[in-house]
């Protein structure tokens, strides 16, 4: 879909090859937009996200079996995050979840896919997310549907965002709390590290109206370029950019946040539980600081090298208003975090010096709980 907000004065479209094509990339000054998000408030058009509605009396129990999150007790007015995993526990897709007025809404990146339960179905064994969910209904009393034409996503970010929104609606204060919007749709509180963030899922026909009244009230128009820089700073991964075909939730900070380790009976659960209880993930996601003195930069999927040894892959690469050029990367757990690295493809002449931000490395939580319990049984 092409957003009508691209017709606003100053709106610069994202490049056609971008995962964010179809919505504004920026409104003339992406660095100023980032600063406004940190100091006041900005509004980002994310109406290219797909929305799936799941009504039906068995919606919670069914989604509990299909998705990675514990959902049977998700109250109306609450939300969370969830994943679809393949049979080996590898990440297919990530989604935000909201339970509102008897319907569970899932919003996810455009083009989100899942590995088909039947490899002969779909393209290369892959289906769109809504096709996958429909195929998993069996006899459950649910009716998942593509609701992208019904609802569009706007995201308000910054310390002043809640105050501006309060002039139009009841503002949810708790993490993932959901409140209805006047005229339809809902607003959701999204915990985004230090930045106050709200997703508004508004009726698509009212997208421009909501944009104009919120920006007229003082929220600065912003594009996805600024949003992506803030996302990377917050260490929030994005499937397809920060994941590959081997990525598991533990490597990406999604355990507990989007994947439940104790509930059973969902695809990929065995890997999630096993790695959490008796092992450690082979890789971890970190923030890389890149050499900004050269005109080239790495691209998604490029290698990260330590000497002549490949130790990881580059994910999202952004220009941050304070940090400069930075990127998310998946590195081997054994990789040194205090060494000078090279990020990028040398064959394409885009390899640059890189260093791991030590604050992005989560402290080792010690021995996995399952291994500790086993040692106790053995009297160790």
* C-beta separation of 235 from 285 below 8 A: yes
How sure is the predictor about 264, in pLDDT bands with cuts at 50, 70 and 90?
Answer: confident
**Dihedral in degrees, nearest 10, Cα atoms 358, 361, 363, 367:** -140
CA 63 to mean position of chain CA atoms: 19
Question: Is pLDDT at 370 greater than 70 in this prediction?
Answer: no
Nearest to 326 by CA among 361, 363, 355, 368: 355
Instruction: Please give the pLDDT value at position 142.
Output: 97
Fold category of 282-379 in CATH: Elongation Factor Tu (Ef-tu); domain 3 (2.40.30)
Partners of residue 343 on adjacent β-strands: 304, 352
Q: What is the mean pLDDT of residues 101-119?
A: 92
310: left (phi over 0), alpha (psi -120 to 50) or beta: beta
Q: Which residue(s) pair with 198 in the sheet?
A: 156, 189
More confident residue, 265 or 26: 26
Per domain, the residue ranges of the chain are 4-49+149-234, 51-146, 282-379
Residue 195 contacts residue 157 (beta carbons within 8 Å) = yes
Residue 211, pLDDT > 50, answer: yes
> Tell me, what's the pLDDT at 380?
55
Average pLDDT of the chain?
Answer: 93
pLDDT at 59: 97
Q: What local confidence, expressed as pLDDT, does residue 372 receive?
A: 38
What average pLDDT does this structure show over 247-253? 96
pLDDT number for residue 1: 82
| pLDDT per residue as tens digits for the range 316-330 | 999 999 999 999 999
For the whole model, what pTM was predicted?
Answer: 0.93
pLDDT at 230: 96
Q: Is the pLDDT of residue 378 over 50?
A: no
Provide the phi-psi class of 207: left if phi over 0, else alpha when psi is between -120 and 50, else beta.
alpha
Predicted local distance difference test score (pLDDT) of residue 374: 38
Tell me the percentage of the chain whose pLDDT exceeds 90: 84
The domain defined by 51-146 folds into Alpha-Beta Plaits (3.30.70)
Produce one character per residue of 203-212: b if its CB has 16 or more CB atoms within 10 Å, e if not: ebebbbebbe
- Alpha carbon distance 290, 293 (integer Å): 9
Residues of the chain with pLDDT > 70, as a percent, come to 94
Local structure of 353: helix, strand or coil: strand
Per-residue pLDDT tens for 151-203? 999 999 999 999 999 999 999 999 999 999 999 999 999 997 778 999 999 99
The CATH code of the domain at 4-49+149-234 is 3.30.1360.120
Q: What is the pLDDT of residues 266-318, one digit of tens each?
A: 899 999 999 988 888 999 999 999 999 888 999 999 999 999 999 999 999 99
Q: To which residue do tokens 């809902």 refer?
A: 186
Q: Tell me the C-alpha to C-alpha distance, in Å, between residue 136 and each of 118, 127, 139, 368.
A: 11, 12, 9, 33
Distance CA 63, CA 84 (A): 10
Instruction: Give the pLDDT confidence of 1-20 residue by residue, as tens digits.
Output: 899 999 999 999 999 999 99
Is the pLDDT score of 377 beyond 50?
Answer: no
For the purposes of burial, counting CB atoms within 10 Å of the CB of 213, is it exposed (0-12), middle (13-18) or buried (19 or more)?
A: middle
pLDDT class for 124, splitting at 50, 70, 90? confident
């Amino acid at each position: 879909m092409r957003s009508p907000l691209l017709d606003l004065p100053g709106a610069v479209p994202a490049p056609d090859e971008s995962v964010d094509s179809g919505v504004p990339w920026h409104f003339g000054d992406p660095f100023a937009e980032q600063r406004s998000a940190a100091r006041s408030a900005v509004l980002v058009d994310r109406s290219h996200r797909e929305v799936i509605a799941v009504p039906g009396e068995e919606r919670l129990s069914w989604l509990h079996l299909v998705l990675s999150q514990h959902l049977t007790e998700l109250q109306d007015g609450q939300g969370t995050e969830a994943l679809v995993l393949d049979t080996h526990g590898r990440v297919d897709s990530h989604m935000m979840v909201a339970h509102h007025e008897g319907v569970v809404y899932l919003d996810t990146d455009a083009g989100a896919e899942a590995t088909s339960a039947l490899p002969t179905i779909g393209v290369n064994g892959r289906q769109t997310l809504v096709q996958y969910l429909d195929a998993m209904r069996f006899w459950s009393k649910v009716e998942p549907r593509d609701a992208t034409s019904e609802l569009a996503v706007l995201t308000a970010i910054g310390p002043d965002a809640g105050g501006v929104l309060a002039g139009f609606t009841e503002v949810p204060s708790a993490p993932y709390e959901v409140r209805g919007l006047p005229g339809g749709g809902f607003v959701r509180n999204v915990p985004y590290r230090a930045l106050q963030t709200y997703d508004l899922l508004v009726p698509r026909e009212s997208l421009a109206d909501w944009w104009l009244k919120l920006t007229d009230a003082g929220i600065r128009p912003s594009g996805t370029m600024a949003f992506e820089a803030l996302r990377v700073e917050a260490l929030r991964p994005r499937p397809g950019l920060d994941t590959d075909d081997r990525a598991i939730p533990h490597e990406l900070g999604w355990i507990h946040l989007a994947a439940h380790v104790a509930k059973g009976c969902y695809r990929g659960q065995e890997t999630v539980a096993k790695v959490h209880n008796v092992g450690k993930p082979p890789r971890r996601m970190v923030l890389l600081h890149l050499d900004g003195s050269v005109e080239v930069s790495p691209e998604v999927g490029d290698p990260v090298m330590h000497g002549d040894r490949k130790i990881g892959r580059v994910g999202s690469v952004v220009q941050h208003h304070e940090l400069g050029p930075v990127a998310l990367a998946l590195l081997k757990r054994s990789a040194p975090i205090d060494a000078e690295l090279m990020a990028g493809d040398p064959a394409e002449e885009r390899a640059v010096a890189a260093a791991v931000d030590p604050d992005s490395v989560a402290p080792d939580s010690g021995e996995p709980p399952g291994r500790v319990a086993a040692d106790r049984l053995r009297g160790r």
